[in-house]
C-alpha cells in the first residue's frame, strides 16, 4: 500500500516553516511514484481526507518539547494524539486531528508517524528530514 507524506506548517513563520521547507526539498527530489507527497500547509481538519483510505501517513512539522533545539525526532501518532487540548481551537493543530481521527473515519485509522524538528531547522536538517520521510514511507508499505 502506498504511503503518504504530509508536510504541514506556515512557510511565512520561521518557527513553523519546517514542514513546507521539507515539502519543497521533496518536490525537487526524485521520489517513488507510489509515495504521495502533499503540501498540507495550514489545512487543519481538512487534512482528514488524506487519512481516510488507511494508507500509512508520515507527517512533517515543527515540534515543541520533544527534542533538543535543531534536532530531528520521529514520534508515533498515538503520542502526538495524546497532546491534544481538551477542546478544539486554532492551537489544537495536529494533536487534535489525530485525537479525533478514529471517531470521524469509517476505516481503521492509518499508521501515523511524525517527523518533527525542534526550533529552527538548518538546511542540512531539512534535507535529512526529507530523506528520512521517504525512508519511513517506503518502510511503511
What are 4-36's pLDDT values in tens digits? 999 999 999 988 999 999 999 999 999 888 899
CATH number for the domain whose boundaries are 3-122:
3.40.50.1450
Give the pLDDT of residue 88: 64
Contacts by residues 126-129 (CB-CB < 8 Å, ≥ 24 positions apart): 126/18, 126/21, 126/22, 126/25, 127/25, 128/72, 129/18, 129/22, 129/60, 129/72
Give the model confidence (pLDDT) of 58-102 as tens digits.
999 999 888 888 899 999 999 999 988 766 655 668 998 898 898
- Is 61:17 a contact under the CB 8 Å cutoff? no
Give the pLDDT of residue 1: 63
Beta partners for 113? Answer: 58, 76
* Reported pTM: 0.93
pLDDT band at 47 (very low <50, low <70, confident <90, very high): very high
Amino acid at each position: 500500500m502506498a504511503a503518504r507524506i504530509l508536510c504541514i506548517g506556515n512557510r511565512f513563520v520561521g518557527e513553523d516553516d519546517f514542514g513546507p521547507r521539507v515539502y519543497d526539498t521533496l518536490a525537487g527530489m526524485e521520489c517513488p511514484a507510489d509515495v504521495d507527497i502533499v503540501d498540507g500547509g495550514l489545512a487543519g481538519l481538512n487534512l482528514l481526507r488524506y487519512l481516510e483510505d488507511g494508507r500509512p501517513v508520515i507527517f512533517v512539522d515543527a515540534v515543541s518539547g520533544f527534542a533538543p533545539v535543531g534536532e530531528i525526532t520521529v514520534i508515533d501518532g498515538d503520542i502526538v494524539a495524546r497532546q491534544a487540548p481538551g477542546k478544539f481551537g486554532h492551537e489544537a493543530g495536529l494533536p487534535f486531528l489525530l485525537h479525533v481521527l478514529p471517531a470521524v473515519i469509517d476505516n481503521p485509522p492509518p499508521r501515523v508517524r511524525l517527523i518533527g524538528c525542534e526550533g529552527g531547522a538548518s538546511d542540512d536538517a531539512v534535507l535529512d528530514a526529507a530523506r528520512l520521510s521517504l525512508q519511513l514511507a517506503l518502510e511503511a508499505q
